[in-house]
Structure formats: structure tokens, C-alpha cells
Amino acid sequence: MNIFLAVFSALLLCFTVLSLIRHDYWTFRVFDYPRLQKLSLSVACMVLLLIYFDSSSVLSWTSTLLIAANMIYLSTQIIPFTPLGKIQVQKVKTHIDEQSICVMIANVFQDNKNTKGCLNEIARHKPDVVLLLETDSFWEKETMELERNYPFHVRVPLSNTYGMLLYSRLELRNPEVKYMVEEDVPSIHTQIVLKDGTVIRLYAVHPTPPVPNENPRATERDKELLLIAELAKASKEPVIVVGDLNDVAWSFTTELFLKMSGLLDPRRGRGFFNSFHAHYPFLRFPLDHAFISEHFKLKQMKRLSNFNSDHFPIFIHVQYEPDSSSPDETLQPDADDIKLAEEKKNAPTST
């Protein structure tokens, strides 16, 4: 077996092992993201290993078996987000418009000036609620015309890439802007009144990612997600959590969030709905999410057209149906999960 294959195999195995180390530093957490890419590279590596397989070489046998194990492990992480996985959120059978709500989540990329493209996408799909992320004062001004069709709104323009603009056709009650972990990273908490009068609760979030040029740790992101999970779990109203979570659907932190919140992921059993990076097809991950409580069934979920952002918008249409999901469809935390969640919520932050 040549040196290239030995190094290639070792690197792929290291990338998987690093993602298993539950340390908050970005050098470990960044390897949560590319599991589909790691699987694709592992398949390519396996093909090469079989082509150049040397039955007399211990290294050849070891590399082949380890890469096979790596492929199996990565497949188990990815399959739940394909049609081969178990569906968590069932499809609507009877459509009731008065009990439904559709939400569009779009990280616009703050430096992007194509506001017309964004407005066209909103006009084309006509969501009830629009959440625009990475919005500064320029985006606030350029999207002000949405008020004609979206009379309820919460605007938090910021120049630090964590601004939020929330527009709604449906009545917003008691909207609040909170800075739960970092003093310059907001989240929006509000009640929304459906057409039939049902009151639901929406949390719009955009925590910081674990990247070296912004926040080298995942501590703040994980803490915010778990604090939102705590609020969602305690809510007496049906819950929707939307936003750019800067975490992939299959990471252990997102799974921990689902366990602690009792929310469901409509992606499971359907597809990846990769939203980032819009300009690099091989480097795409599901970063923009919509999680819902078991009170909802799914009408539609889709990825929308890009308008020069580095993210694709995500569109989700759900219908309120009490007791629509059985309790066993939610992920249940064990004692270790509860302990880890408490540690993360109480972890000291850099701010």
C-alpha cells in the first residue's frame, strides 16, 4: 500500500475521532460539520484501498477494516436524515388553513446587497412569518416595504452580523428581544396568534459559531441552545424554534438540544436541506433549522433559491394538531444527557 493511501486513511480516521472528543474548542467541534463529506471521502478511500489491496500487508488489512468501520459509523449518523431514516414529524392529512403557519428563515449575509432578490423570494412563497438574519441598518431600510403585508414586526439591526428582522402577517404578542448569553447576540421570543386564535410560541435564534476568527469555543453557542431548550420544554404553548443555529442537524449538541427541549426535527426521515455554503456544493451543511413541538404536523419543508447570500433560505409550513405526534417520537435524555446539559448551561462564558 503506497504512502498516499496510508496518510489519506489516517487523516480520515483522525477527522472522525476528533469529532468524538466532546471538547468545546473549535478544532474539535468543526469536525462535527462535514460528516457527509467524510463519508464520501471514506468511500473513495475504500475504493482505492480495494484496488491496491495487498493481502500480505498488515497495514493494508488494518486500513481497509478501519475505513470500513468509519464508513459504517458515519452512515449511522447520516441515515436518520435521509428517506431511509425514521420520520419524526408526520405529514398533514387534512389541510386546515386557520391552524397552519409557514415560516421562511434566511441568513441574508450582511455584506450582500441583493435585497430585491430577497424580497422577490418572500413574494414568491408568501410565508406568514419571515426571519432575516445578519441584517444591519441597510437591510432594515431596504426591507421596510414588507410592513405593507407584514404589519407585525420586531427589528434588531446590528452591524456585527447578528442582527435580526422578524416580520409577521399573524399577530405577535408580547415580543421580547433577549441577549441570553452574549451581550451583542440577540434572540427574539414571541407569541404568535394563528388564524383560529391558537397561541403558539416562537424563538428566533442565531448563536455564534465555533470558529477561530469569531469565537474559538462552542461554549456560548451550546449554552444559548440549551437555555432555549429549557424555555421550550417549560412552555405551555406549542413551540417553534427557528434560526441559523451554526450547528449541523446530526451533531451531538443538536441532538442534546432536541432531547432537552422535547422538540422534533422535520428533517429526520426526509433529507438534509443543506443551507450553507450556497456557493460551494461540496461544502454544504444543514445550519438553518426549524424545530417544532409535537403539537404540529408538517405540510411542507423546502430549500428556496439563493439571492447572493452564502445561505439558502429554508421554508417550513406546519399545521397545529394537538396530540399529532406520539411521545416516543421525541428523543429522550438519559442521566448523562441531563448532567451534560446542566454543565453546559452553567458553563462560564468569555463575555
pLDDT bracket for residue 235 (50, 70, 90): very high
**What tens digit of pLDDT does each residue of 264-317 get?**
999 999 999 999 999 999 989 999 999 999 999 999 999 999 999 999 999 999
| pLDDT of 327 above 80 | no
What is the number of H-type helices and E-type strands within the chain? Answer: 9, 11
Average pLDDT over residues 74-81: 92
Answer whether 145's CB lies under 8 Å from 169's CB. no
Cα distance between the two ends of the chain: 50
The pLDDT assigned to 27 comes to 85
Average pLDDT over residues 54-70: 91
**What tens digit of pLDDT does each residue of 113-142 get?**
999 999 999 999 999 999 999 999 999 999
| Percent of residues, the chain, with pLDDT higher than 90 | 79
CA–CA dist 266, 174 (Å, integer): 27
CA–CA dist 171, 151 (Å, integer): 8
Instruction: Identify the CA nearest to 297 among candidates 93, 131, 105, 130.
Output: 93
The pLDDT assigned to 25 comes to 87
CA–CA dist 154, 177 (Å, integer): 8
- Domain boundaries 97-345, corresponding CATH code: 3.60.10.10
What does the DSSP assignment read for 34-50? Answer: THHHHHHHHHHHHHHHH
* DSSP state for residue 242 in the 8-state scheme: E
The pLDDT assigned to 326 comes to 55
Quickly tell me which residue has 437591510 as its cell. 139
Report domain extents, the chain.
3-81, 97-345
Average pLDDT over residues 323-337: 76
Average pLDDT over residues 209-220: 86
CA–CA dist 350, 220 (Å, integer): 8
CA–CA dist 167, 152 (Å, integer): 6
pTM score: 0.93
